[in-house]
Structure 1
Amino acid sequence: MKGISKRLKKKTFLIIATFLLILTTIPDLVKVFAPVVDTQDTSWAWLLGYAFLNNLQWGKEIIFTFGPLGFLENTYFYSNHLLWFITAIANIFVRLVFYAFFIYFVYLCVFKEKDSSNSQSSITFYFFYVLISAISIIVSSSIPISMLLCLMATLIIVDTFNCDFIKNNKIILIRYVLSGALFAFSSLIKFNVIPFAILFLLVYPFLMVYSFRDKKIFFQGFVGLISFILVFLLIYLIIGQNLSNLPALLMGIYEIIKGYTPAMFLNGKILQTLVAVITLLYFVYLILISYKKKKKILFSQLFLLFLLLFFVFKEGFVRQDNIITGGHTLSFFTVCLILLAFIIFLYSRMKLSNSFINFVFLIIFFFNVIGGIIYINGARNIVCLSNLSFSKHKRIELQQSINSAIRNQFKVDPSILQSIGDQPVTIIPWDLMMSQGYNFKFIPQVVPQAYSAYTPYLDEQNAKQILSDVALQKIIYTFEDIDNRYPLFSEPYTFMTILSCYRTEIAGNKYSLLTRKKSCHDLNLTSISSIETGLNQWIDLPSNADFMDIYINPTLISHIIDILYKPFSQIYISFKLSNNQIVGPYRFIPGVSKDHLFVKYFIRNQRDLNDLMSKDAYNLLKIKSFTITTKGINLDYDKSYNVIFYNSSFS
Structure 2
Amino acid sequence: MQRTFHSRVPWAIVGGLIWLSLLDFPSITLTPQLDHSWQGVLSYASERGLQFGRDVVFTYGPLGYLKNQVYASSGLAERLIWEIFFKGILAALILEIAVRFPKRPRIGFLISVVIASRYPQCDTADTLYLLTMTWLVLLAACGSRRGCGMQNIWLVVAPFILASLALIKFTFLLFAGVNVASLAIHFFSCGRRRAALLVVGSFVLTFLLGWLLAGQGIENLWPYVKFSAEISHGYAYAMGIGARPAVFWLAIVACSLLVASTLCSAFPRAGRANSLGLLLTILAVIFLAWKEGFVRADIHVVYTFTCYWLLAASLPAFFQAPAKLRPVVGWSTFLVIPLCFLGLCFGKPAFAVENVFAVVSRFDDNTTVLLDFPGYRRAME
5 Å-filtered alignment, 1:164-243, equals 164=144, 167=147, 172=152, 175-210=154-189, 212=190, 214=191, 217-218=192-193, 220-243=195-218
Distance 2:113 2:150 in 1: 30
Residue 309 of structure 1 pairs with residue 303 of structure 2: no
Is the 2:61–2:170 contact (alpha carbons within 8 Å) kept by the matching residues of 1? yes
Amino acid at match of 2:173: I
CA shift in 2, pair 1:202/1:282, >3 Å: same
Counting helix residues as a fraction of each chain, which structure ranks higher?
2
5 Å-filtered alignment, 1:267-286, equals 267-286=242-261
Distance 1:197 1:56 in 2: 24
Is the 2:136–2:154 contact (alpha carbons within 8 Å) kept by the matching residues of 1? yes
CA shift for structure 1 position 169: 12
Per the alignment, residue 263 of structure 1 pairs with 238
Amino acid at match of 1:163: G
Q: Secondary structure at the match of 2:61?
A: coil
CA shift for structure 1 position 291: 6.8
CA shift in 2, pair 1:271/1:15, >3 Å: farther
Residue 319 of structure 1 pairs with residue 291 of structure 2: no
CA shift in 2, pair 1:352/1:88, >3 Å: farther
TM superposition score normalised by structure 2: 0.80
Q: How much identity, in percent, do the aligned residues show?
A: 21
Per-residue displacement from partner, 1:580-613 (whole Å, max 9, x unpaired)? xxxxxxxxxxxxxxxxxxxxxxxxxxxxxxxxxx
Match of 1:78 among 63, 72, 85: 72
Is the 1:20–1:134 contact (alpha carbons within 8 Å) kept by the matching residues of 2? no
Distance 1:378 1:265 in 2: 32
Amino acid at match of 1:362: F
Residue 92 of structure 1 pairs with residue 84 of structure 2: yes
Give unmatched runs, 5+ long, in structure 2.
Answer: 345-350
CA shift for structure 1 position 186: 1.5
Is the 2:50–2:56 contact (alpha carbons within 8 Å) kept by the matching residues of 1? yes
Distance 1:383 1:164 in 2: 37
RMSD: 3.6
Q: Secondary structure at the match of 1:197?
A: helix
Per-residue displacement from partner, 1:189-209 (whole Å, max 9, x unpaired)? 111222222233224433445
CA shift for structure 1 position 344: 1.9
5 Å-filtered alignment, 1:180-579, equals 180-210=159-189, 212=190, 214=191, 217-218=192-193, 220-290=195-265, 293-294=268-269, 296=271, 297=274, 300-321=277-298, 327-347=299-319, 354-372=326-344, 374=355, 376=359, 377-382=361-366, 384-386=368-370, 389-391=373-375, 395=377, 398-399=380-381
Is the 1:95–1:141 contact (alpha carbons within 8 Å) kept by the matching residues of 2? no
Match of 1:106 among 81, 89, 98: 98
Q: Secondary structure at the match of 1:274?
A: helix
Distance 2:195 2:340 in 1: 37
Counting strand residues as a fraction of each chain, which structure ranks higher?
1
CA shift for structure 1 position 341: 1.6
CA shift for structure 1 position 43: 0.9
CA shift in 2, pair 1:271/1:88, >3 Å: farther
Count residues with an aligned counterpart.
361
Distance 1:185 1:382 in 2: 24
Highest RCO, 1 vs 2 (Cα 8 Å, sep ≥ 6): 2
Per the alignment, residue 68 of structure 1 pairs with 62
Is the 1:201–1:224 contact (alpha carbons within 8 Å) kept by the matching residues of 2? yes
TM superposition score normalised by structure 1: 0.49
Distance 1:187 1:195 in 2: 8
CA shift for structure 1 position 318: 1.0
CA shift in 2, pair 1:266/1:219, >3 Å: farther
Q: Secondary structure at the match of 1:63?
A: coil
CA shift in 2, pair 1:22/1:300, >3 Å: closer
Per-residue displacement from partner, 1:116-148 (whole Å, max 9, x unpaired)? xxxxxxxxxx23431222222442256655653
CA shift for structure 1 position 170: 12
Distance 1:90 1:352 in 2: 45
CA shift in 2, pair 1:383/1:52, >3 Å: same
Distance 2:324 2:96 in 1: 21
Is the 2:178–2:281 contact (alpha carbons within 8 Å) kept by the matching residues of 1? no
Per the alignment, residue 603 of structure 1 pairs with none
Is the 1:136–1:338 contact (alpha carbons within 8 Å) kept by the matching residues of 2? yes
Is the 2:140–2:158 contact (alpha carbons within 8 Å) kept by the matching residues of 1? no
Distance 1:139 1:70 in 2: 24
Match of 2:39 among 41, 45, 56: 45
CA shift in 2, pair 1:359/1:203, >3 Å: closer
Distance 1:19 1:151 in 2: 19
Give unmatched runs, 5+ long, in structure 1.
Answer: 1-5, 112-125, 322-326, 400-651
Is the 1:336–1:368 contact (alpha carbons within 8 Å) kept by the matching residues of 2? yes
